[in-house]
Amino acid sequence: MQMAKRRSTRTARFTALAVVAALAITGCGPQEPTPSPTPTASAPAPTPTPTPTPTGPVDPLPEGAVTALLLGTDSRTPGSMTGQADAIMLAQIAADRETLSLVSITRDSWVPLAGGYGSGKINSAFARGGTSVMVETVSSMFGGLEIDYVVQADFQGFIALTRALDGFDAENQHPTRVTVNSTGRVVDFSADPVHLSGTDGLIYVRQRKGLPQGDLDRTERQRAAVIGMLERIDEIATEDPAQLVTVFGHFAERLKITGELSIDDMIALASLSQNLERDDVVSLMAPITGFGNQGGQSVNVVDTGQTAALGEALRAGDMAPYVEQYGTGY
């Protein structure tokens, strides 16, 4: 059984970790003074040696890649974290900390479900058995991939995160205009990159109708949103580092995180975005061979052979051979 793996026995409140992370990024963390040698009558006091200024936090993460499962549920009840997991994405930091890989799984992928639930659409694993069944299902899909953390957000949580960041920019491969059924408001997503603020971010990542390849293009938008959020966090860290405490506070209120997070882990994760450029992010979708029907349900047929290769790459923590052979298209 693959569960969220414990990396440290030290845990703390996410808000406290945010404060430490912000201090680490700005270089304002407390430092122990170096005691000065006591001078003697027979010899002058030695000239103190200047202490080098730290260039950043030493990477405290364990050796190897670190993998998180990101879930966006379709619950409209704030904080409930129930319903179907309609956004399913793996985020993996490479062992050398120089690459971030984002791998989407389409919600209609027909897979064996963990927990004795037979086969079904992968998004139903969460609704049927909760976080643990979803983790086991995704892990098995990729040949026993270890998943260190699970991060969950619902509709209102995603809106709150967008507002906490004061909006963000995302690459927009398929410009559209969307009419919101409940209000009749027309949302213009014709720009590239597109600026997303307020509720527009949620509308953008949820749209599939009107996109050339429907849900497949929607997964691309979800990855673009994650990249845009990371870039916005980088901007805040550069322009107003103290604001990170407030931003992370909002994150703590709106996200559910499974898996123990030590202070050192969070420092590394929070500062990572400043070391990554857009070209350092690998963005792709778990492969499918096409579309099918199961019991009257429209489903996505998983490409088992290529998915096995993707799982091998993820387990090795090195996506380069997979991307060289298969590319990042879908």
The pLDDT value recorded for residue 222 is 95
Residue with structure tokens 């953008």?
204
Q: Which segments within the chain are labelled E, that is strand? A: 66-73, 85-93, 100-104, 110-112, 119-121, 149-153, 168-170, 176-179, 186-189, 194-196, 256-258, 281-285, 288-294, 297-302
Q: What angle do CA 13, 17, 23 make, to 5 degrees?
A: 155
- Residue 234: name the closest of 284, 279, 269 by CA: 269
The pLDDT value recorded for residue 277 is 74
Q: How many C-beta neighbours within 10 Å does residue 177 have? A: 10
Residues in contact with 61: Cβ distance below 8 Å, sequence separation at least 6, in sequence order: 7, 93, 97, 264, 265, 268
Q: How many C-beta neighbours within 10 Å does residue 316 have? A: 15
Distance, CA of 266 to CA of 289 (rounded, Å): 38
Query: Which domains, from first to last, does the chain contain?
Result: 14-22+59-326 (3.40.630.190)
pLDDT tens for the chain, 330 residues long, are 443 433 332 222 232 233 333 332 222 333 333 344 444 444 455 555 554 444 555 555 557 898 999 998 876 665 556 667 889 999 998 988 888 999 999 999 999 999 999 999 999 999 899 999 999 999 999 999 999 889 888 888 889 899 999 999 999 999 999 998 888 899 999 999 999 999 999 999 999 999 999 999 999 999 999 999 988 988 888 888 778 778 877 777 778 877 765 545 554 555 655 666 778 899 999 999 999 999 999 999 999 999 999 999 999 999 999 999 999 998
Report the number of secondary-structure helices (H) and strands (E) in the chain.
9, 14
Element (H, E) at 263: helix 263-272
Q: Is the pTM of this model over 0.75?
A: yes
